[in-house]
């Protein structure tokens, strides 16, 4: 059996101000670095060193992965397939900006749909590339830790579980929290734990979290 830990990066100053990041390369803020260090300590204590530590190449994720790796004694490896979806024309804006300028597409996004805007990363495509990376990373390994972004992790997990890419079953993962998935010897994936924070608490599925990662 393989255990897969899916960790969302720590918060950035864009997250604090409510700006959508998507493919923008925004570094961790101080609060985010504190979250990353707390996650690193808990994961090292609870699981030990992973066989592999992968990360999105975007700074907010890779900086988080560096903290995880420093605690576990494992160097992170960047994989572009774990990059956050593009938010297209919305990147750098707040949700209030989006609602004012694209009211219909804003409502579509709030329903969990893909908005029809220039440059938006389609859910099915993002889920497929992330899932392919996760499957490859877990092949022949006991424990794999992956640091990425809210939408990317959720869509990849939906794909592994065989759920539709627009499903809202998994909700939104808060910054600095993680999900734990397992793959059986027959290749079947399960969600074992959801929304774990460094204190070990668990969120209910569907718990609200900040979007725009």
Strands 2-8 and 178-183: antiparallel
Q: 3-state SS string over 50-68?
A: CCEEEECCCHHHHHHHHHH
Catalytic residue among 42, 149, 175, 177: 149
Half-sphere exposure of 123 (CA within 13 A, CB side): 19
Phi, psi of 112 (to 5 degrees): 90, 10
Residue pointed to by tokens 């992965």: 65
> Is residue 42 annotated as part of the catalytic site, yes or no?
no
Location of structure tokens 């969600």: 191
Query: Is 175 annotated as catalytic?
Result: no
Catalytic residue among 9, 45, 175, 177: 9
Q: Is the Cα dihedral 20, 24, 26, 31 positive or negative?
A: positive
Quote helix, strand, coil % in the chain, to nearest 5: 40, 20, 40
Tokens found for residue 25: 């390369």
Give the span between the Cα atoms of 104 and 53, in whole angstroms. 40
Q: Which residues carry out catalysis?
A: 9, 149
């Amino acid at each position: 059996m393989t255990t897969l830990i899916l960790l969302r990066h720590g918060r950035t100053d864009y997250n604090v101000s409510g700006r959508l990041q998507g493919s923008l390369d925004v570094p961790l803020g101080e609060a985010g670095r504190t979250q990353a260090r707390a996650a690193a300590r808990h994961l090292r204590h609870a699981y030990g060193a992973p066989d592999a530590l992968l990360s999105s190449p975007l700074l907010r994720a890779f900086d988080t992965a560096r903290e995880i790796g420093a605690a576990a004694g494992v160097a992170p490896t960047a994989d572009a397939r774990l990059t956050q979806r593009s938010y297209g024309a919305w990147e750098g804006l707040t949700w209030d900006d989006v609602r004012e300028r694209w009211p219909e597409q804003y409502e579509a996004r709030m329903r969990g749909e893909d908005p029809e805007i220039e440059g938006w990363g389609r859910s099915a495509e993002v889920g497929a590339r992330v899932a392919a990376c996760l499957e490859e990373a877990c092949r022949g390994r006991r424990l794999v830790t992956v640091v990425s972004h809210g939408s990317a992790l959720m869509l990849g997990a939906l794909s592994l579980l065989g759920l539709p890419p627009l499903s809202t079953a998994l909700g939104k993962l808060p910054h600095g929290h993680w999900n734990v998935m397992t793959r059986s010897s027959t290749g079947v994936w399960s969600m074992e734990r959801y929304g774990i924070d460094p204190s070990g608490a668990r969120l209910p599925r569907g718990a609200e979290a900040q979007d725009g990662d």
